[in-house]
A and B are shown apart, each in its own frame.
Chain A
């Protein structure tokens, strides 16, 4: 202990204290402060980058989920559209068929009506022609009756025979 106390140099102690104090202050200003600040900044930067990456990953995940959802929706929509189209097609076909059928029926009815009308017209014409013919015959008979009685009679007979044969 005595040796230690004897070796203790107050001058060296003072020098060390002063130099250490100055050194701490200088190091603080020129080294530790900029170094520690930069380290903090860098670590915060890294932390921020990591957080941003995590955020981006989550967003990506959300986006993917959204995409999946949208795809699903699109698929459902497509199916619905296809179904609808199929229904429309079927409907259109059946409608067209119905239309065509009713049209055809109409045409047939019209045709039948037209035929009936024609027939009626033809019958009427025939009737009028028959009447004319009958009148002509009657005229001729009357003419012959006026010229020759005998002949007139014969003609009537013949005519009647013809009419009966007819």
Chain B
């Protein structure tokens, strides 16, 4: 009973911490100092899209122009946690008053911070405001180590809690009954799908079990994150390069740590090729070791980013094509196209989760594969079953 109630306690603790850190998370209706009004021009649309693709220190839901011409934006601020030159600093993002142009300077713990394009910079000693050099990089400021609960971290935590809640309750159901009911009935086939279609065929019947926790967690994490990106909350978790790098690095380390003798031998001393080829193949194989996770991280990042850009571009059609088609025409066109792309994006959300997990399983499978089929050598050291091999690989 203690064990079963633990996830609930954990959830409670996490949500308590989250709530505690978001004490100031009520809605703001702040008239922004640098208010540009509604997004209208091409440049503003591009900026808005770029801003969305990046991580943010505020949770911005929507903004609107009040009848008095004032601009209200709705959302809540998130905690900023920094490891600055004078030690750790924490404050709420509301202290920047939605400024992302580096104009509002916040002084905490003996350091001054500005928010420049949603990156926190620490001003150097004596500097009062940020100076941006020729190369568009700040000259008198540097980035401290930023462990903030940003919008993406918030999203990651949300996804984690959702997964824990869904699958934790599914796991608990089995204690009472054999066949899950309710939402668990929908989740169970997905778990079976990952096990039977991804892990088992790629890793092998005897070894797949060890990697199931990683594969299942990553699969559902990516999928739910991708789907969360489709909601109007504007999360872009899997479109953050840091997140995909992290996911791919997990795969990379798991592959390297589970690699058996054959795996390393195939990298550093390829069997059955001349010595000169063995030496040539070493750098190629080592590079291959690295390109595999690299392709994973770029694929996921690029697909999700592209999806978000396309959806936002199509939504923006209602502004950009207003002149040609009129308000109703451009809105209708935008609606139809966005709906179409959104449906595809829902497919892509699953597909990318599947591909990432599938390739991870494949790489793990390659690292743990038993080369039970050793080449038999005759007295002269030639392969005697070469023809058989070739035939086998074709059949």
A48 within 8 A of B: no
Which of B59-67, B96-104, B149-157, B358-366 is the interface stretch?
B149-157
Mark A35-60 against chain B: 1 for CB-CB distance below 8 A, else 0: 11111001001000000000000000
Taking a contact as CB atoms closer than 8 A, the residue among B147, B157, B214 that contacts A24 in the complex is B214
Taking a contact as CB atoms closer than 8 A, the residue among B10, B157, B170, B246 that contacts A13 in the complex is B246
A92 within 8 A of B: no
Considering the complex, give the chain B residue whose CB is closest to the CB of A16. Answer: B246
Nearest CB of chain B from residue A101's CB, rounded to whole Å: 86
CA distance A24 to B214 in the complex (A): 6
B191 touches A39 (CB 8 A): yes
B157 touches A30 (CB 8 A): no
Q: Which of B157, B209, B246 is packed against the most chain A CB atoms within 10 Å?
A: B246
Mark B233-252 against chain A: 1 for CB-CB distance below 8 A, else 0: 00000001111011101100
CA distance A13 to B245 in the complex (A): 8
Mark B201-217 against chain A: 1 for CB-CB distance below 8 A, else 0: 00000000100111011
Considering the complex, give the chain B residue whose CB is closest to the CB of A28. Answer: B213
CA distance A66 to B85 in the complex (A): 91
Say yes or no: A30-B168 contact (C-beta < 8 A), given A19-B160, A20-B217: yes
A81 within 8 A of B: no
CA distance A7 to B119 in the complex (A): 9
B178 within 8 A of A: yes
B167 within 8 A of A: yes
Considering the complex, give the chain A residue whose CB is closest to the CB of B137. Answer: A6
Nearest CB of chain A from residue B243's CB, rounded to whole Å: 5
Taking a contact as CB atoms closer than 8 A, the residue among B146, B160, B221 that contacts A11 in the complex is B146
Considering the complex, give the chain A residue whose CB is closest to the CB of B172. Answer: A34
Q: Which of A35, A37, A45 is packed against the most chain B CB atoms within 10 Å?
A: A35
CA distance A27 to B166 in the complex (A): 10
A23 touches B240 (CB 8 A): no
Nearest CB of chain A from residue B50's CB, rounded to whole Å: 10
Q: Which residues of B contact A23 (CB under 8 A)?
A: 160, 163-164, 217, 221
A20 touches B157 (CB 8 A): no
A34 touches B171 (CB 8 A): yes
Q: How many residues of B contact A (CB 8 A)?
A: 48
B164 touches A27 (CB 8 A): yes
Q: Is chain A's interface secondary structure helix, strand, loop, or mixed overall?
A: helix
Q: Which residues of A contact B178 (CB under 8 A)?
A: 38, 42, 45
Q: Which residues of B contact A4 (CB under 8 A)?
A: 241
Considering the complex, give the chain B residue whose CB is closest to the CB of A26. Answer: B164
A14 within 8 A of B: yes
Q: Which residues of A contact B149 (CB under 8 A)?
A: 15
B259 within 8 A of A: no
Nearest CB of chain A from residue B319's CB, rounded to whole Å: 25
Considering the complex, give the chain B residue whose CB is closest to the CB of A27. Answer: B217
Considering the complex, give the chain A residue whose CB is closest to the CB of B150. Answer: A12
Nearest CB of chain B from residue A40's CB, rounded to whole Å: 9
Considering the complex, give the chain B residue whose CB is closest to the CB of A43. Answer: B192
A10 touches B145 (CB 8 A): yes
B323 within 8 A of A: no
Taking a contact as CB atoms closer than 8 A, the residue among B146, B150, B209, B214 that contacts A36 in the complex is B209
Interfacial residues of chain B within 298-328, with CB under 8 A of chain A in the complex:
none
B242 touches A12 (CB 8 A): yes
CA distance A67 to B234 in the complex (A): 74
A31 within 8 A of B: yes
Say yes or no: A26-B10 contact (C-beta < 8 A), given A4-B241, A9-B242, A35-B188: yes
Say yes or no: A34-B153 contact (C-beta < 8 A), given A9-B242, A11-B145, A27-B167: no
Interfacial residues of chain B within 115-164, with CB under 8 A of chain A in the complex:
119, 145-150, 152-153, 156-157, 160, 163-164
Nearest CB of chain A from residue B87's CB, rounded to whole Å: 16
A15 touches B214 (CB 8 A): no
Nearest CB of chain A from residue B56's CB, rounded to whole Å: 11
Chain B positions within 8 Å of A, measured between CB atoms, are 6-7, 10, 54-55, 119, 145-150, 152-153, 156-157, 160, 163-164, 167-168, 170-172, 174-175, 178, 188, 191-192, 195, 209, 212-214, 216-218, 221, 240-243, 245-247, 249-250
Would you mind naming 23 contact pairs between A and B with Cβ atoms under 8 Å apart? Answer: A7-B54, A7-B241, A9-B119, A11-B148, A12-B153, A15-B147, A15-B156, A16-B153, A16-B247, A17-B249, A19-B160, A20-B217, A20-B221, A26-B7, A27-B163, A27-B164, A27-B167, A27-B216, A30-B164, A31-B168, A31-B171, A32-B212, A38-B174
Besides A31-B171, A32-B212, A38-B178, 5 new A-B residue pairs in contact (Cβ under 8 A), listed by A number: A11-B150, A12-B243, A16-B152, A24-B213, A27-B213
